[in-house]
Amino acid sequence: MQIRAGERFVCVGPAGGGYGNPLARTPERVRRDVADGLLSVEGARRDYAVALTSPGSIDEAETARLRAMR
What pLDDT is attached to residue 66?
98
Whole-angstrom distance, CA of residue 42 vs CA of residue 52: 9
How high is the pLDDT of residue 53?
A: 94
Is the CB of residue 23 less than 8 Å from the CB of residue 29? no
pLDDT at 16: 65
Q: What is the structure's pLDDT at 4?
A: 93
Q: pLDDT value at position 64?
A: 98
Residue 11's pLDDT is 84
Cβ-contact 30, 39 below 8 angstroms = yes
Percent of the chain with pLDDT over 70: 94
Highest mean pLDDT among 9-13, 26-30, 53-57: 26-30
